[in-house]
Structures are given as structure tokens and as C-alpha cells.
Structure 1
Amino acid sequence: MGGPVSDDRTHDVTALLMEWRGGAPGAVERLLPLVHGELRRLAKRHMAGERPDHVLQATALVNEVYLRLVDIRRVQWQDRAHFFAMAARLMRRVLVDYARAQQNQKRGGALRRLTFDENLAVTSDTPDDLIDIDDALRALAAQYERKSQVVELRFFGGMGVEETAEVLKVSPETVMRDWKFAKNWLLRELSRNSTGR
């Protein structure tokens, strides 16, 4: 995710996560400056698929994720990769919550085309698109939880195959099989949803 991270910095993040998990005072405050740059890169990646006039910007997205992270109780933090996987999930939730709020304000609309390119990049022109993607991922998770986690880590978390395999404790080959399956499954699901409107 992003550029290479030094072993010392990875160790510092993991150590602070363990302190946070143990309830050490000030651990979160010391952790946030270490992860801020990577969270901004992740937020910019999420925002790249949004309209240029989107009300939320990368900084606001990172701030909202900070607030939600601090509110999380009883997370058994494992390591840096686990932290960023959770941050990616929270960013997705923030954007979907925002899209649902927008959708509630503007009911109706014409038929839209939803697409993933072969690398699973999303073309999203409306709040409904993001909601459809989130709904499809939830449906995938209901049937194939690990495959859904692979999508979340790779697409939303920006993790590579090796890092995803490490987080999920599976082989890189399994990650690649799950990735291929999930992309095809999501494309079918999104296609069915967009033609069924």
C-alpha cells in the first residue's frame, strides 16, 4: 500500500496498536501521525473515483476515519496490515453513508451503467453507484466471506497480493483465485442489478 514502509516504522505502528489494544493512554495519539500519510494516500485513491465536485475531500475522509477508529472498542489489532484493512473498510463505510444520505435527498433518476474495468476500478458517477457496489460486496460476503475480504483489502485497501495473503493467512495463489472469482461474481451481480432497475 503506497510506497515501501521501513521495518522500523512497521514495528512502531504494530507496537502502538498493541498498546492501544491494551488500553495504554496516549497510544492512539502517538499512532495517528505515523499512519496519517498512508491514510491520506488511501483516501485520495478512494476519492479518485468520485465526482470532482464531491463534497467530501481526502482530508475530510481521513478525519472521519480517525473519529470512527477512535470510537472502535475491543478490536484485537494484529498488525499494521490489519489496521489499514480496517481503515479501508471504514473509508468505504463513510463514502457509502454519504452516498445513502445523498440518495435520500434525491430520489429517482435515470438508468445508469455500472462498470468495473478488468482491474476492478470503479466508474462511479452517482451516489447510487457506490451504494450498488456496496450492496454487491455485502451479497458476496454473505456467500463467500473470504473472497469479499480479498476485494476489500486489495481494491479498497490498496494492498498487494502478498500483503493480502498475510492478513488473511492464506497463500498468494489463493488470493489470486479469490480475486478472479470475486471480480467475475461482482461484475455479474452489478450487471444484473443495473438491468433490473
Structure 2
Amino acid sequence: MPEITKLMQAVQAGDQSSAEELLPHVYDELRKLAASYLAREPAGNSRHATSLVHDAYLRLVLHCRDEWKNEGHFFGAAAIAIRRILVEHARRKQSLKRGGNAIRHEFHEQMTVSFSDPAEDLIALDDALEKFTTVNPQAAELVQLVYFSGLTLRQAAEILEISPRTADRHWAYAKAWLGREIRGSRDFSENC
């Protein structure tokens, strides 16, 4: 059994020293995941790959260790943790941008809202993906592995233990469903 698998099993059993030993073995891969996420973010993002990796790793070992069946699932869980951290960051940023705790006043002129801000796009995608998880959990997991982890469809299919053909069908369905959901939320927001 590979050393990483042994360490993961020990972490899942609650061994804190194994959690410390596991990090150097998975750090480079987690850093690549974080860097691929941050490459999609707008310039000037205050998050750095190193802090993102550390935050995600802490979430993984403290809260998500029951979800690891193998290395693929570990990195899938890492992709989800990184996505959630970035979405939380985008939501906080949007909240501050929109006035945070300031008192809101009614604005009577009709306003149009667009998703030109990448943080809004990320939030819209996250909201749509959360809804999609209830519709088709396996396809939603495939989207997370491909889009957020940077895996190929074939690699994601192996992790999910489905055929490449099924992965292709799930991917096509997910793209159509998520696209419709995101466009629908934009249309709704623009009409408000």
C-alpha cells in the first residue's frame, strides 16, 4: 500500500501526527489545484496559492476526512474545499463592495445588473452547482473534478468509477443545465 494511502487512513482514524506527515506528500498537487483556481480569478486577488492550500488542507483534515476513499477522492475533496474558500472570499468581497453592514436605502430608478465581475460569476456558478447537486449528484461531482480540479474527463471518470461514455453524457448534461441556470439567474437579476 502506498505511503500516502497509509497516511490518509491514519488521518481518517484521527492520528494528528499523520496529518502533519501527509501535507508534504500532497502539497505540490494541492498547490497546482490552488494555482489553477487563482489563474481564473481577476488580477489583484488578495488570495495566494500558499494560504489557499493551507486553508483547504485544514478543512480537509478537520472536517472532510470521512469522505476519502482513495487519493482521487482526497483531491476531489480538496478541489471542493478550495472552491468553497474562494466562493466565501468572493461573497465577503461582494458584501463589502455593496456596503457590508451599511444601511440600505431604496433606489427608485431602474437599475440593470450584470455579471461582469468575476466574483459574481464564481458565486453564480457555485449557486447553480449547489442546485445541480440535488438534481444529479454524480454529474455535479464530475463538474467539480473537471472544472475545479483540472482533471480530464477520463481521469474524473476513473475516480468516479464510471465509463468515459457516461462521463461524456454527464458533462454535456451538466454544461447545458448549469448554463441555463446561470443565464436564468442573470435574466432574473437584470429584471429586478
Alignment of 1:160-171 (within 5 A): 160-171=152-163
Aligned twin of 1:29: 20
Aligned twin of 1:134: 126
Output the CA distance in 2 between the equivalents of 1:127 and 1:163. Answer: 28
Output the CA distance in 2 between the equivalents of 1:176 and 1:63. Answer: 33
Aligned twin of 1:178: 170
Using a 3 Å threshold, how does the CA distance of structure 1 residues 73 and 192 change in structure 2: closer, same or farther? closer
1:106 lines up with 2:97 in the alignment: yes
Using a 3 Å threshold, how does the CA distance of structure 1 residues 74 and 85 change in structure 2: closer, same or farther? closer
Q: Give the structure with the higher percent helix.
A: 2
Residue 155 of structure 1 is aligned with which of 140, 147, 167? 147
Alignment of 1:89-100 (within 5 A): 89-100=80-91
Structure 1: stretches of 5+ with no match in the other structure:
1-7, 115-124
CA drift of 1:145 comes to 1.1
Q: How many residues align?
A: 178
Q: Deviations over 1:27-55 (max 9, x none)?
A: 11111001111111100100011111011
CA drift of 1:65 comes to 0.7
Using the TM superposition, name which of 63-72 and 100-109 deviates more: 100-109
Q: CA RMSD in A?
A: 2.0
CA contact (8 A) 1:18 1:78 kept: no
Alignment of 1:5-20 (within 5 A): 11-20=2-11
Using the TM superposition, name which of 95-104 and 17-26 deviates more: 17-26
CA drift of 1:92 comes to 0.4
Aligned twin of 1:56: 47
Whose Rg is larger? 2
Output the CA distance in 1 between the equivalents of 2:55 and 2:67. Answer: 21
Output the CA distance in 2 between the equivalents of 1:92 and 1:48. Answer: 13
Query: TM-score if structure 2 supplies the norm length?
Result: 0.85
Q: Secondary structure at the match of 1:23?
A: coil
Aligned twin of 2:59: 68
Q: Secondary structure at the match of 2:66?
A: coil
1:193 lines up with 2:185 in the alignment: yes
Aligned twin of 2:103: none
Q: Which amino acid aligns with 1:148?
A: A
CA drift of 1:100 comes to 1.0
Q: Deviations over 1:48-96 (max 9, x none)?
A: 1111101111111111112212321651421110100000000000001
Q: Deviations over 1:121-146 (max 9, x none)?
A: xxxx3322211110010111111111
CA drift of 1:176 comes to 1.1
Using the TM superposition, name which of 69-78 and 139-148 deviates more: 69-78
Structure 2: stretches of 5+ with no match in the other structure:
100-110
CA contact (8 A) 2:67 2:74 kept: no
Output the CA distance in 2 between the equivalents of 1:79 and 1:42. Answer: 17
Q: Which amino acid aligns with 2:83?
A: R
Q: Which amino acid aligns with 1:112?
A: S
